[in-house]
Structure 1
């Protein structure tokens, strides 16, 4: 989560909370009323047996082997996604797919069990309250995905699926970890199945003083759910989530301060809290070749913060309802899958502070359709086409801002055409083309450069890739191109140098992505990912210049050793190339954010139901930073070396 954000954006850039509901990982037989069978991945917002085209899948086994403590870390360290250090000391790093810089969180959609987590604010998606022990898999689909997932999916979509009890009996785990900076992580989870009923619950207590002064972070969370599978053609469930977090904010440093002492704080009196409660329900039902599914979720949160002695508070609520339908049919030797659905979301926020009494509401209504044709002979081909229309109704009033109340309607459309074909044995070529979009959120419109609300951001998306190999050795490579119009971004050169949010001149993201894995021996596997991205202005006075805070290269690699005798070891490294400082739109700053390499490792040993481990983060103790909002200033240092020991008991 992010309680604290640089003053350049909006008075309140805070953590977004999320709604989490149960999502069954089963696929229906399209032609007969047979029991639902488990599957590995999902597509078209329904369970499926085929990986989404071009997707990366992180399994529970990989998460356990790497020993990562939270979902965000799993996405970064195993999935190879670049993440920027959180500004508030939480583990919720800003995740960046395809080089969107400081607005990366607004260009990636995050889903948990079919429920969208993104908020109508300038804030990172909060993943830290999801117990890592409940995660079954994570799917990362890079590139334009607005047809299925709507506003903000230009960079891609990240989906987290939590594990549900399977079969009868009781299972659970207890976990304790301690480390440097007075870090303590306590977790407990339990799951029980009895006939058609299943239950699960997880509690977490996490606290740390963190690397910097005045950066203490504490969080307690609970999640629990119940699920009922009726007959052989459906299931339903209810889930509740609650989280309480407190954080202190160390503020930014200039370059001289960072070099002298990166742990120091300039804001010893700044702090905040975030309380969230979420409840969600889901239902799935099959009637012949038709599957029906829906999620209904509601979350409420209370955010308090104090900066330089001035306090503020806001309360926000969000309700989502997402019903959908899938019909499958055989057309000769081809299988056709048709999906349609609607997404309804209502969001509102009330602010109480000395500088704002803003009352904001947004209603969004979307309808989408997608059709995919699959045929096995002779080349295992897939072809999908889809479209989406979404309308947004925005209301905003703030008597302290001396502006008239605003009522605005905006709408946008998305489309996609994608396919894949096996051109040879174990060689698959895939391609995507489409249009994605993003609508300015409440924080961006509250501090903008225009008299009216900012125009929708649109992107023309292209991608071409190839996957070679099998489970033992596989490599995937693709080239991508995003041609953006009216990109929504903070321009520090506006408003007499104070800056404001605006629609930029036309921009472009293009580059290459590569990921691969190889089984070097029966007990030794190496994985790697490389992203090269060019993020530039393509028109206007800055044409040809680089966008800010976007590294051209991000390289991630991991080596996992699992000899099968109770021992396991995992070592990973990530190299991030240099970046432009956050205000360097003209590319005139004589310095750049330096490149850096971080290394982490874990060794574990099992003794029956017990597992003991030792792990280290940033083992080389590299002093570095990924946030710097001004030339040689506005620096938020990243964490130094941290060593941890843990003990786990499974029952």
Structure 2
């Protein structure tokens, strides 16, 4: 397989030329429209204050004029949480533009996210001699940019999108043996051409899509940033949707994807031949048996490839994850009252997880074959004109399959989840809702052999929200874990290494729309 670098480079230059040429075409198209509408601008400003030293602000602005849409948004967040001396900062930006023509559209977008986290380092006698306040520092940054061009030719749609994502992460640790620094940076470029066709054959509506995904990915990681890895991939995808119409309005969807990966020989995992070629498919069907009753069924196979390689085997990638899903369900009701039920089964081979029990900082790894079988029920009812009640129930049996511990439940997977939420919409722009969530007891994290008799106890939490609109303003008071329940959902050891979830949290916010 040849690297996709040359194709991506050529496509990037072609897409750039198209983007430079399109504004002139857009101006011509707008000028040809008599009485083009005046530009419309609107935006939002919001701020929130919460317990634990948390506050956030956000601003967004959008302008729509003559087939051109511009939007930009910025936000900031600070959170001190419950740990003394810790601070979390987050800053974000996103913006984009889109031009719509009679024969197509084109545009671009960009966003950036920065996060800084500080924790006090462990206390030790010698640390006081080196620094007054030694700290563990973590920094994370993501940048994304994309551009697309789409063209309409009769019943065909031709499009291409080019995107790039960059990640940078740095962690500085202070300990009794001195300090260390770990770095990570990655860059991913993807080119995605698509061809779509809408048609009708003997009264059957067809929606056909064919596409390619060409990707190149590179990463530097390690305590000194000296571990390098490159990966190339190309994928062919096909999707077909059929709408038969008639009394039962049957619909059928078929999807196929074949992807090839290429790594440097030194980075190949065991069984590389199976890892390099991956196949996925998706089959879905539905029937409208009655005006208020519909049923569906679907089956799928999907895959996931390790793109981090932070393992005990010297940053070598893990075996590819394979997932098989089957699901059947039914929905009954209308806007006043409705209910749905679905039965699902999921089988996983070589599931990729991050195991914090391995080593000081944890490593990624593959789990043994497992399966999850369950049922989910959802219901909604309008109690009165201003009141609505929603309920959800999920029962799951997660266990290992074809494994030395065949049969035991998978740790940290709750068997039962239930929630209930009541909504109220009053006069004068007032609204409120209150909800309760209940989680059944589950097994501790590292207990693969069912050796720990204790369990993470079941718990229930209550949250609520009240909002009121006053002209262009909207004021809101919200709270989570209102009963101040002391609970936890993870414990790396049996009755040890327990970290509590958040206590009661109250938030007040204001939003101005113009």
Relative to the length of structure 2, the TM-score reads: 0.83
What residue is the counterpart of 1:477 in the other structure? 341
Give the corresponding residue for 1:615.
Answer: 478
CA 1:532–1:194 in structure 2 vs 1: closer, same or farther (change >3 Å)? same
Q: 2:45 aligns with which of 174, 177, 185?
A: 174
Change in 2 beyond 3 A, CA 1:609/1:437: same
Moved more, 334-343 or 186-195: 334-343
Which structure 1 residue ranges, 5 or more long, are not aligned?
A: 1-165, 253-266
The alignment status of 1:416 with 2:282, answered yes or no, reads yes
Residues 251 and 318 (structure 1 numbering): CA distance in 2 closer, same or farther, change over 3 Å? farther
Q: Give the alignment of 1:441-480 within 5 angstroms.
A: 441-443=307-309, 446-448=311-313, 454-480=318-344
User: C-alpha distance in 2, partners of 1:461/1:290?
Assistant: 32
SS at 1:565 equivalent: helix
- Tell me by how many angstroms 1:453 deviates: 5.2
1:604 corresponding residue in structure 2 = 467
| Cα 1:329/1:644, change in 2 over 3 Å | same
* Aligned with 1:226 (options 91, 97, 100): 97
CA shift digits 1:373-418 (9 cap, x unpaired): 11221101101222111112233879xxxx99x9986111112221
Q: CA offset at residue 492 of structure 1? A: 8.8
Distance 1:452 1:313 in 2: 17
Query: Greater RCO between the two (CA within 8 Å, min separation 6)?
Result: 1
Match of 1:544 in 2: 407
Once residues 507 and 361 of structure 1 are traced to their aligned partners in structure 2, the CA distance between those partners, rounded to angstroms, is 31
Q: Is the 8 A contact 1:386 1:416 kept in 2?
A: yes
Aligned to 1:339: 209
Matched, 1:283 2:160: no
8 Å contact kept, 2:307–2:317: no
Shift in Å, 1:493: 9.5
1:645 aligns with 2:508: yes
Q: Residues of 1 paired with 2:121 and 2:377: CA distance?
A: 36
User: What's the secondary structure of 2:491's corresponding residue?
Assistant: strand
Asked if the contact 2:121–2:173 (Cα under 8 Å) also holds between the matched residues in 1, the reply is: no
1:348–1:250: structure 2 CA closer, same or farther, 3 Å change rule? farther
Counterpart-to-counterpart distance in 2, 1:440 and 1:314: 15
Instruction: Name the counterpart of 1:367.
Output: 236
* Residues 249-398 of structure 1 mapped to structure 2, 5 A cutoff: 249=119, 269-308=135-174, 309-351=179-221, 353-354=223-224, 357-395=226-264
Q: Per the alignment, do residues 191 and 499 of structure 1 end up closer, same or farther by CA in structure 2, a change over 3 Å counting?
A: closer
Distance 1:374 1:584 in 2: 49
Shift of 1:491: 7.3
Equivalent residue of 2:451, what SS? Answer: coil
Counterpart in the other structure of 2:34: none
Q: Equivalent residue for 1:237?
A: 107
In the alignment, the residues of structure 2 paired with residue 479 and residue 294 of structure 1 have an alpha-carbon distance, to the nearest angstrom, of 38
Q: Deviations along 1:512-567, whole A, 9 cap, x unmatched?
A: 11223222222222223222211101222100011111111122332221124211
Q: Distance in 2 between matches of 1:343 and 1:410?
A: 15
Question: Residue 3 of structure 2 aligns with which residue?
Answer: none
Q: What is the deviation of 1:448?
A: 4.6
Map of 1:631 onto structure 2: 494
Give the SS at the match of 1:587.
Answer: coil
Correspondence for 1:203 = 74
More strand per residue: 1 or 2? 2
The CA distance in 2 between the partners of 1:364 and 1:341, in whole Å, is 14
Take 2:366 and 2:161, find their aligned partners in 1: how far apart are those partners? 34
Query: What does residue range 558-573 of structure 1 map to in structure 2 within 5 Å?
Result: 558-573=421-436
Q: Which runs of 5+ in 2 are unaligned?
A: 1-36, 123-132
Distance 2:358 2:463 in 1: 41
Deviation track 1:456-513 (CA, whole Å, cap 9, x = no partner) reads: 2223321111011122222221111122333344679999x99975544432111111
Correspondence 1:535 to 2:398: yes
Q: Offset at 1:452?
A: 7.9
* Distance in 2, Cα, partners of 1:352 & 1:463: 41
**Alignment deviations for residues 50-101 of structure 1 (CA, whole Å, 9 cap, x no partner):** xxxxxxxxxxxxxxxxxxxxxxxxxxxxxxxxxxxxxxxxxxxxxxxxxxxx
CA RMSD of aligned residues (A): 3.1
